[in-house]
Structure 1
C-alpha cells in the first residue's frame, strides 16, 4: 500500500481481524446508515443465520468495515471519481473470481454512470481503448491484485501522469485492499453458512 498523507475521509480499516497492524477508520463525519452491508448481501446472510450472529458479535469490526466502505465510495470525494473507484472495485472482484461481489459493483457502477462497453474492455484487459485515467487506474488495480510484491515506486508514474494526486493514489490503493478484504470475508462467510445449512438439514 502506498504511503502518503490522505484526507481524513479517505482513511480506511481494511481487515476483519482484531485490527492488528492495520489503520483504524478515521471517518467521524460519515455514518454507515445509508451504506448496505455488502458482505451480508453478497453471501445472502439473513437475520437469524448463525454466520450473521457471528458477524454481529464483532460489532466494532462490522462498524469499521461499513464506515470504510462509506468513506471509500463517498460520492463527495473528487480526486478519483465514483465511476473510476467502482470500476477499480469491480475489476478487482472480477479478476479474483468473486463473481457475486463483482456483480454488485457492476450494478453500482452502471447506476453511477459507467458503461457496459468500458466494463467489457476492462474484462478483456483492453485498457488501451479506455480513457487514460481509467486505463492507469485499472493497470494499477491489476498490479496490486495479481503481483503486489512486484510493485515499484515507478509504477505510480502512469497514475501521476494521468492526473492523480498522491492522496488519490493512496485512496485507490486502499480501495483495492478493501475489496480484497471484502472478497476474503465473503468467501469465508459463505463457506461457514454452507456448513451450517448442511448441519441443520
Structure 2
C-alpha cells in the first residue's frame, strides 16, 4: 500500500471536521488500524501512478459519486483535488452537477453512468451494466479499478456521514451538560 500523503494525512478526519482530541476523533482512532487502512485505500486509489484509469477520471468518479449521494464535504474535497490536478473545468462542472448524460465523450459518459448505477441502484449493476464499459473502451483492469473505487467511495461517504452524526451528538451532549 502507498505511504500516506502528508497533504491528505487523514481525509476522513479533515472532511468530517474531526479535531484531534475530540470525543469523535478519539472514538474513530480507537481502531487506528482501520483509520490507517481507510486512508491507505484512499492513497492507493488516488495514486497518480496507479495504472489503468487516469487520475482525473478517478477524481471525476469520486466527485460524481459524492454529488449523487449527496455528500457536500466530499464534493468540496474532490472538486479541490480536480482543480489541483488541472482537470477540464467543463468536466468538473458536469460531474459536480450530477448530469453525465450531456457528456460528448462516450468513455466518460459510460464510466459515470456505471457510477450512477452502483450508487443509486447497486442491484442494477448487472452483466449488462458491466458490458457497457468495455463497449465504451475500458479494459478489464480499468473496469475492476472502477468497481473498487465506487465501492470505496460508498464506504467513505457513509463513514463521513456517520462520524458527522456522532460529532453532532457529542456536541449536543456537551452543550446539554454545560447548561
- Return the TM-score normalized by structure 2: 0.90
Cα distance 1:62–1:126, how it changes in 2: closer, same or farther (>3 A)?
closer
Quick one: distance in 2 between partners of 1:48 and 1:78? 38
The TM-score, its normalising length taken from structure 1, stands at 0.81
CA RMSD of aligned residues (A): 1.5
Return closer, same or farther for 1:137/1:69 CA change in 2, 3 Å cut-off.
same
Per-residue deviation, 1:126: 4.2
Distance in 2, matches of 1:154 and 1:198, equals 47
| Aligned counterpart, 1:127 | 101
Q: Does residue 91 of the first structure (1) align with residue 89 of the second (2)?
A: no
Gaps of 5+ in 1: 1-26
How far is 1:42 from its partner? 1.1
Consecutive unaligned residues of structure 2, counting only runs of 5 or more, are none
Greater RCO, 1 or 2 (C-alpha within 8 Å, sep 6+): 1
Match of 2:40 among 62, 67, 83: 67
Task: Compare the two structures and name the one with the higher helix fraction.
Answer: 2
SS in 2 for 1:48: coil
Q: Give the match's secondary structure for 2:43.
A: helix
Q: Deviations over 1:137-195 (max 9, x none)?
A: 10110010011101221212231123222121111111111111111111111111111
The answer as to 2:162 corresponding to 1:192 is: no
Mapped contact 2:66–2:72 kept (Cα < 8 A): yes
Compared with structure 1, are the counterparts of its residues 102 and 84 closer, same or farther at alpha carbon in structure 2 (3 Å cutoff)?
same
The 3-state SS of whatever aligns with 1:78 is coil
Give the Å deviation of 1:81.
Answer: 0.4
User: 2:67, 2:98 within 8 Å by CA — same for their partners in 1?
Assistant: no
Moved over 6 A (4+): none
